[in-house]
């Protein structure tokens, strides 16, 4: 009898939660939901705008023409987006949120589990870097190419375990700076990276940028902290240009000369934080 009572009370609690969320989404005006979202984002210096914003059945919101901005300018543009609360996991006492978006000609899909054992899964396919204004407005760089990747993390940020993979095809990067130190402009046939996360610390297994006249490799690790931009960096950046590129960008490589350990090989220590990387 006690077990039956516990199960009944649990079922009523879950049912009440579903009903509450359903009524909230269905009867609260979409403009109020957007204002509430901006209330949460304002603490991070962010603002969300949408050309069209409404509710998605059974439990969710959707919109078109999303723009995420900061004081520096636009960070991300989303053609269409949808956020939903998954109903079935609620019956097992889990809160799962699904997010899908079209960014330029590419797609973004994510699943977040918020209760019990938190987890994050993200898949990105063929998102054009030029459709992510962040690179220009915040990083002050020009970036083109198609970004794909996958994130799989379990546990809280401080104890997270999983991996992050990314790939960029046909990348062109110009105007990159580490702190005040400029890096060479270059085109890369491919950019591939793998970061393994264990006990809240990310270790770069491989991160390489392969071009016709340059090869770049990033090594090291970073302990994940909240907020992520405050994550301290302990990385090294290797740059191996061919003579043609050295000749074309003499000024850049003169500035990098103190980091040259052998002819044609530059080793740059990267410190600071994820939000503000610095060169020692």
Residue 248 has a pLDDT of 94
Residue 2 has a pLDDT of 41
187 vs 208: CA distance, rounded Å: 13
Average pLDDT over residues 7-34: 54
Residue 274's pLDDT band (cuts 50, 70, 90): confident
3 vs 86: CA distance, rounded Å: 27
Q: How large is the C-alpha radius of gyration of the chain?
A: 22
Residue 3's pLDDT band (cuts 50, 70, 90): very low
**Cβ–Cβ < 8 Å for 104, 137:** no
Could you give the percent of the chain with pLDDT greater than 90?
40
Q: Does 186 or 30 have the greater pLDDT score? A: 186
Of 39, 72, 99, the residue at which a domain comes to its end is 99
227 and 162 in a common domain: yes
**Cβ–Cβ < 8 Å for 233, 195:** no
59-89 pLDDT, tens per residue?
A: 677 888 888 888 878 888 889 988 877 766 6
Average pLDDT over residues 39-62: 76
Residue 115 has a pLDDT of 67
Residue 179 has a pLDDT of 80
178 and 49 in a common domain: no
Residue 257 has a pLDDT of 93
264 and 195 in a common domain: yes
92-146 pLDDT, tens per residue?
A: 666 778 889 999 999 999 988 876 678 889 999 999 998 888 888 877 789 999 9
The pLDDT of residue 23 is above 60: no
Extended beta strands in the chain, E state: 47-49, 52-56, 60-70, 73-85, 96-103, 106-113, 119-128, 142-154, 161-174, 177-178, 181-182, 186-198, 201-210, 214-223, 234-241, 260-262, 265-272, 277-279
Residue 134 has a pLDDT of 83
Residue 4's pLDDT band (cuts 50, 70, 90): very low
In-domain check, residue 236 = yes
92 and 43 in a common domain: yes
Residue 58 has a pLDDT of 67
Q: Label residues 22-58 b or e (16+ Cβ within 10 Å = b).
A: eeebeeeebeebbeebeeeeeeeebebebeebebeee
177 and 241 in a common domain: yes
In-domain check, residue 216 = yes
In-domain check, residue 203 = yes
In-domain check, residue 242 = yes
Give the domain range for residue 31.
1-99
Token output for 116? 């019990």
147 and 90 in a common domain: no
Residue 11 has a pLDDT of 44
93 and 146 in a common domain: no
Mean confidence (pLDDT) of the chain: 82
| Whole-prediction pTM | 0.79
237 vs 89: CA distance, rounded Å: 43
Report the half-sphere exposure of 128 (CA within 13 A, side-chain side).
12
Query: For the chain, how many structural domains are there in total?
Result: 2
Residue 207's pLDDT band (cuts 50, 70, 90): very high
The pLDDT of residue 27 is above 70: no
**Cβ–Cβ < 8 Å for 58, 24:** no
In-domain check, residue 56 = yes
The pLDDT of residue 43 is above 90: no
191 and 90 in a common domain: no
Residue 101 has a pLDDT of 92
Residue 164 has a pLDDT of 94
């Amino acid at each position: 009898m006690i077990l039956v009572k516990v199960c009944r009370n649990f079922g009523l609690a879950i049912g009440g939660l579903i009903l509450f969320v359903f009524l909230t989404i269905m009867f609260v005006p979409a403009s109020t939901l957007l204002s509430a979202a901006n209330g949460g984002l304002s603490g991070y210096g962010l603002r969300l705008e949408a050309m069209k914003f409404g509710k998605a059945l059974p439990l969710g919101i959707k919109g078109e023409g999303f723009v995420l901005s900061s004081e520096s300018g636009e960070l991300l543009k989303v053609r269409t987006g949808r956020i939903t609360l998954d109903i079935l996991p609620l019956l097992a006492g889990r809160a799962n949120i699904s997010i899908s978006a079209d960014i330029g000609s590419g797609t973004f899909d994510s699943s977040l589990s918020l209760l019990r054992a938190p987890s994050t899964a993200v898949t990105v396919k063929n998102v054009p870097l030029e459709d992510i204004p962040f690179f220009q407005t915040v990083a002050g760089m020009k970036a083109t190419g198609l970004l794909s990747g996958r994130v799989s993390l379990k546990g809280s940020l401080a104890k997270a375990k999983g991996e992050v993979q990314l790939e960029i095809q046909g990348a062109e990067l110009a105007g990159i700076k580490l702190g005040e130190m400029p890096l060479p402009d270059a085109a890369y046939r491919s950019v591939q990276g793998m970061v393994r996360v264990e006990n809240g610390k990310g270790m770069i297994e491989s991160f390489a940028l392969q071009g016709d006249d340059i090869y770049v490799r990033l090594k090291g690790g970073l302990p994940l902290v909240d907020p992520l931009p405050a994550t301290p960096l302990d990385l090294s950046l290797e740059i191996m240009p061919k003579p043609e590129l050295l000749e074309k960008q003499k000024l850049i490589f003169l500035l990098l000369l103190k980091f040259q350990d052998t002819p044609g090989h530059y080793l740059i220590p990267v410190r600071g934080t994820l939000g503000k990387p610095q060169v020692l």
